[in-house]
Amino acid sequence: MSKDIRIKRGLALRLKGEAEKQLVEAPRSKTYAIKPPDFHSVVPKMTLKEGAMVLAGEELFYSKYTEEVKFTSPVSGTLKEIKRAERRRIVEVIIEAHPTDSYKDFGKMNAETAAPEDVKSRIFESGCGAFIKQRPYDIVADPKDAPKAIFISAVSTAPLAADFGFILKDKVAAFQEGINAIKKLTSGKVHLSVDASSEACLKGIKGVELHHVKGPHPAGNVGVQIHKIDPLNMGERIWVIGAEDVSIIGNLFLTGEFHADRTIAVTGSEAKNRKYYKTTIGANVSDLIPQMPESVRVISGDVLTGDKISNNQYIGFYHNSITLIPEGNQYRMFGWLPFMYNDIHSNSKTSLSWLMPKKKFEPTTNLNGEERALVVTGEMEEVLPMDIYPMQLLKACMAGDIEKMENLGIYEVAPEDFALIDYVNTSKIEAQEIIRLGLDLMITEVG
Amino acid sequence: MEWIRQRLDKFKEPFQKGKKLEKYAPAINALDTFLYTPNHTTQKGAHIRDAVDLKRTMITVVLALIPALIFGMWNGGYQYLSQIQTEVGFWEAIGHGALKIVPMIVVSYGVGLGLEFLFAIIRGHEVNEGYLVTGLLIPMIMPIDIPLWMVALSVVFAVVIGKEAFGGTGMNILNPALMARAFAFFAYPTYMSGNKVWVSEATGVDAVSGETILGTLAAGENVDYSVMNMFSGVIPGSIAETSTICILAGALLLILTKVGSWRIILSGFLGAAVMALIFNALPSMGIEGNSLTNFPWYQHLIVGGLAFGVVFMATDPVSGAQTVTGKWIYGFLIGLFAVMIRIFNPAYPEGIMLAILLMNVFAPVIDHYVIQANVKRRKKRLSGATQIKTAV
């Protein structure tokens, strides 16, 4: 059975530099890294010491407060370095890779017939638990919870985002096995949303509630889909899993090994070889792209939610793309005049960019202004297709008013849902950061 | 270009962090950002940002005000000159008006921006651009002959009491430009009402006089102006409020650029029309009205400050309603009350100023109830969900 979700509000940003639909094998990196900051709110406790040998799938560290959640090595090799930042916070766990991978054997398991407890413990002991994120709060899931539903979005609407239809094309069997396993994690439904591109390969997937999603970004955001399909109420838990990660979980059950395969789309106007690269989680960015000058921003992820990284750093755990765009650290004379510099896109109509609906823009990282008080109203609602008042919610988060945040729907949102608000808002406030801090406050106060 | 940039950077040197004049950086930054959009890049959150910023938004409103302002200058001269001579040249009229109005604008910007800079330095934030609009609006809604010191004093009141006392741009409850006008109106009524203030030099020259249409109606007299005069704006009144057609041109720009809320503008006119129609219907119900109640409804929309207020004042996003539903209610009630006050208050036959200020006060209440409906929906869903759970 399938249902249609049509999203009207939002913004389909057309940017230059889409990746060509061609899959290339990336060279094997010398080093790989798992970055604990990718797992928000997880306090890592190292299991291994520097210099230890690891197999792919062997535990590197675990979460201090939910010990069942393990983080395992994507490759086999030697634990080279545990990089720490201020207050000894671990920022990177670097593994020097062997030329070929040998895997820790978890043993094959038929997910369809296995007992739910076995499936769950297999997923979490192998490190696949890290793929499961929990709503509310957008943090790594706690295996002790019983989610009311599980959501998987194979819809990519973010600008220049990797196309899951293309990525999953050859992984359908593993994907199906992954679904079989995931189904055991909830007594509720597993919702899979697809768009025109991913529908072709995922149409036959069994055991899921299939949803066709149409509309501009953030229609592909799982938070928006949850809001439309089965909204989250106070006290409830929903788990979400990335589309490619489902096939990694499937592979775990099919082979008994943790194959941390990752397909990365190299995109953006500054990228030369814009293709899809087959690599492994935690790969070094320098293996996919040449060294970039200062004038280019390297983003692990997409332009709205990704992380800024530099040459020789590692790709984020959850990311499916690398985006290269020019830095915008230039002054622009009279840049504030309306109807000037029309090659810079604006969702407002004060730039004539709206007269060029077919144009692909080449944005820089310039802020195009400075932070100001919140003045303009109505612009945030235009890009948040939820029954939520974004500006009021942001103000409640700024004020740390927990009751108001609850009333206005803080449980239903994740920072990524506010990424377009970062983009469009006239006052240049950092909406994603404000929501993240608001969610963190809820975690400490409500839990 | 590069040369200007280099000089500017050199000039800004002592204002950098840790340097001698660091405290005054907001002032110098405000000037710099007028020449150049800064080279700041995104450090967190989305890596790319929209081209719009507050400066651009505010300048768009200023652009929308220009037609009404130019017309106001011409009309200011024309109303006076046409009473003392038979032929009035276009430039002659503009010249006379400009001589009166430009100094008012200079005073308004000078005093207001001075205060804005001062507060920015004291509070250590950047100068917000809101005053670019407020500073132009204030002279535009004053009578043409108001003394400059009154303009200055009104500006001080509007900025200090109306805005900064509440925490600055974005926090004020009332529209600052209307605060200025309300201040002048209640503090110096003889300069703000009656039949001697609406035409330039009327107080000094005996042969010159002029009453606004609403004033004439309130006095129970007949109006000599045609509907065309009212629509084009060749009538006495506050500087920029008279020409409905120029105001609509501004409204068009505001709506096309999405800077002004079309919902507030439309519902404002609707509310005024509904109220006027109700009063127009009184005779048919056997109640004898007066010249104000019987004033045709469509003429209510094009005389006085209603159009100017609805288009440029009610749409102020800070003091207005912020939710979509709230905007409809807020705009509608402004129109409704504006006409009601006109008719019921013979001492002050212009209602739009008080109607907007009143609704400014009520805007948060309207929003509160609109948002409360959303909160209730969420709570209802929650109780529904727990019921299902217990049933299982």
| Cα–Cα distance for residue pair A173/B136, rounded to 1 Å | 67
Q: Is the pLDDT of residue A211 over 90?
A: yes
Q: Which residue has the tokens 């004439």?
A: B216
| B324 close contact with A: CB closer than 8 A | yes
Q: How far is A438 from chain B (nearest CA, A)?
A: 15
What token pair was written down for A354?
């709206």
Indicate the residue of B35, B49, B257 with minimum beta-carbon distance to A428. Answer: B49
Q: What are phi and psi of A132, to 5 degrees?
A: -90, 120
| Cα–Cα distance for residue pair B250/B61, rounded to 1 Å | 8
Q: Assess if residue B117 is contained within a domain.
A: yes
Span A339-366, average pLDDT: 89
Residues B199 and B258 in one domain: yes
Q: Which domain holds residue B121?
A: 55-207+214-368
| A333 close contact with B: CB closer than 8 A | yes
Q: How far is A297 from chain B (nearest CA, A)?
A: 9
What token pair was written down for A227?
């809001």
Segment (H or E) for B187: helix B176-187
Does the beta-carbon distance from B385 to A388 stay under 8 Å? no
Q: Assess if residue B384 is contained within a domain.
A: no
Segment (H or E) for A134: strand A132-135
Q: What pLDDT does B21 receive?
A: 80
Q: Assess if residue B382 is contained within a domain.
A: no
Contact indicator for A128, A248 with CB cutoff of 8 Å: yes
Q: Assess if residue B11 is contained within a domain.
A: yes
Residues B29 and B124 in one domain: no
| Cα–Cα distance for residue pair B255/B271, rounded to 1 Å | 19
| Cα–Cα distance for residue pair A249/A230, rounded to 1 Å | 24
| A414 close contact with B: CB closer than 8 A | no
Indicate the residue of A233, A336, A375 with minimum beta-carbon distance to B382. Answer: A233
Contacts of B127 in chain A (CB under 8 A): none
| B176 close contact with A: CB closer than 8 A | no
Does the beta-carbon distance from B317 to A375 stay under 8 Å? yes
A289: left (phi over 0), alpha (psi -120 to 50) or beta: beta
| B229 close contact with A: CB closer than 8 A | no
Does the beta-carbon distance from A336 to B256 stay under 8 Å? no
pLDDT tens column, A395-443? 999 999 999 999 999 999 999 999 999 999 999 999 999 999 999 999 9
The CATH number of residue B339's host domain is 1.10.3430
Residues B54, B55, B59, CA angle at the centre, nearest 5°? Answer: 115
Does the beta-carbon distance from B317 to A377 stay under 8 Å? yes
| Helices then strands, each counted (H, E), chain A | 10, 21
ipTM comes to 0.91
Q: What are phi and psi of A190, to 5 degrees?
A: -105, 120
Q: Which of B6, B34, B53 is nearest to A333 (CA)?
A: B34
A137: left (phi over 0), alpha (psi -120 to 50) or beta: left
When pLDDT is cut at 50, 70 and 90, the band that residue B13 belongs to is confident
- DSSP bridge partners of A210: A2, A192
Span B347-361, average pLDDT: 88
| A438 close contact with B: CB closer than 8 A | no
Residues B162 and B18 in one domain: no
Indicate the residue of B55, B261, B381 with minimum beta-carbon distance to A378. Answer: B261
Q: Is the pLDDT of residue B390 over 60?
A: no
CA dihedral of A350, A356, A360, A362, whole degrees rounded to 10: -30
Does the beta-carbon distance from A329 to B42 stay under 8 Å? no
| A240 close contact with B: CB closer than 8 A | no
Q: Is the pLDDT of residue A342 over 70?
A: yes
A to B CB pairs, distance under 8 Å: 212
What token pair was written down for B144?
């043409």
Mean pLDDT of chain A: 93
Does the beta-carbon distance from A336 to B55 stay under 8 Å? yes
Top residue of B7, B33, B47 to mutate, by most chain A CBs within 10 Å, is: B47
| Cα–Cα distance for residue pair B309/B355, rounded to 1 Å | 9
Q: What pLDDT does B389 receive?
A: 53
What token pair was written down for B274?
């509904």
Contacts of A430 in chain B (CB under 8 A): 44-45
Top residue of A269, A340, A350 to mutate, by most chain B CBs within 10 Å, is: A350
Q: What are phi and psi of B89, to 5 degrees?
A: -80, 155
Top residue of A351, A375, A397 to mutate, by most chain B CBs within 10 Å, is: A375
Q: What pLDDT does B328 receive?
A: 97
Mean pLDDT of chain B: 89
Residues B17 and B134 in one domain: no
Q: Which of B20, B322, B314 is nearest to A378 (CA)?
A: B322
| B45 close contact with A: CB closer than 8 A | yes
Q: Assess if residue B48 is contained within a domain.
A: no
Residues B28 and B78 in one domain: no
Residue that wins the pLDDT comparison between B180 and B3: B180
Indicate the residue of A341, A347, A433 with minimum beta-carbon distance to B45. Answer: A433
| Cα–Cα distance for residue pair A354/A347, rounded to 1 Å | 8
| Cα–Cα distance for residue pair B333/B354, rounded to 1 Å | 12
Q: How far is A409 from chain B (nearest CA, A)?
A: 8
What number of residues does chain A have? 447
Q: Which of A433, A388, A427 is nearest to A415 (CA)?
A: A433
pLDDT tens column, B272-285? 999 999 999 988 88
| A341 close contact with B: CB closer than 8 A | yes
Q: What pLDDT does B10 receive?
A: 84
When pLDDT is cut at 50, 70 and 90, the band that residue A235 belongs to is confident
Does the beta-carbon distance from B48 to A378 stay under 8 Å? no
3-state secondary structure A304-356: CCCEEECCCCECCCCCCEEEEEECCCCCEECCCCCCCCCCCCCCCCCCHHHHC
| Cα–Cα distance for residue pair B272/A68, rounded to 1 Å | 66
| Cα–Cα distance for residue pair B34/B308, rounded to 1 Å | 28
pLDDT tens column, A289-305? 999 999 999 999 999 99
Q: Is the pLDDT of residue A166 over 50?
A: yes
Segment (H or E) for A54: strand A53-54
pLDDT tens column, A53-62? 999 999 999 9
Top residue of A322, A426, A432 to mutate, by most chain B CBs within 10 Å, is: A426
Residues B79 and B143 in one domain: yes
Residues B201 and B85 in one domain: yes
Dump the DSSP string for A151-163: EEE----STT---
Q: Assess if residue B15 is contained within a domain.
A: yes
Contacts of B126 in chain A (CB under 8 A): 370-372
| Cα–Cα distance for residue pair A133/A239, rounded to 1 Å | 6
Q: What pLDDT does B388 receive?
A: 55
Estimate the crossing angle of helix B90-123 against helix B130-140, to 10 degrees: 140
Q: What pLDDT does B15 receive?
A: 82
Does the beta-carbon distance from A348 to B46 stay under 8 Å? no
Residues B320 and B256 in one domain: yes
When pLDDT is cut at 50, 70 and 90, the band that residue A254 belongs to is very high
- Whole-model pTM: value is 0.92
Q: What pLDDT does B392 receive?
A: 44
Residues B70 and B200 in one domain: yes
Residues B31 and B63 in one domain: no
Contact indicator for A304, A415 with CB cutoff of 8 Å: no
Residues B251 and B317 in one domain: yes
| Cα–Cα distance for residue pair A153/A23, rounded to 1 Å | 21
Q: How many alpha carbons fall within 13 Å on the CB side of residue B220?
A: 2
When pLDDT is cut at 50, 70 and 90, the band that residue A257 belongs to is very high
Q: Which residue has the tokens 């489902």?
A: A246
Top residue of A299, A302, A351, A368 to mutate, by most chain B CBs within 10 Å, is: A368
Contact indicator for B138, A344 with CB cutoff of 8 Å: no
Nearest CA in chain A to B130: A375
Q: What pLDDT does B224 receive?
A: 81
Residues 167-186 of A with CB under 8 A from B: none
pLDDT tens column, A26-57? 999 899 999 999 999 899 999 999 999 999 99
Q: What pLDDT does B387 receive?
A: 57
Q: What pLDDT does B344 receive?
A: 85
Does the beta-carbon distance from B170 to A373 stay under 8 Å? yes
Does the beta-carbon distance from B322 to A391 stay under 8 Å? yes
| A166 close contact with B: CB closer than 8 A | no
Does the beta-carbon distance from B33 to A351 stay under 8 Å? no
Span B168-197, average pLDDT: 89
- Which 8-state DSSP code applies to residue B153? H
Residues B126 and B273 in one domain: yes
Assign a CATH topology to domain A25-106.
OB fold (Dihydrolipoamide Acetyltransferase, E2P) (2.40.50)
Q: How far is B381 from chain A (nearest CA, A)?
A: 7
Q: Which of B76, B184, B60 is nearest to A348 (CA)?
A: B60
Q: Assess if residue B29 is contained within a domain.
A: yes
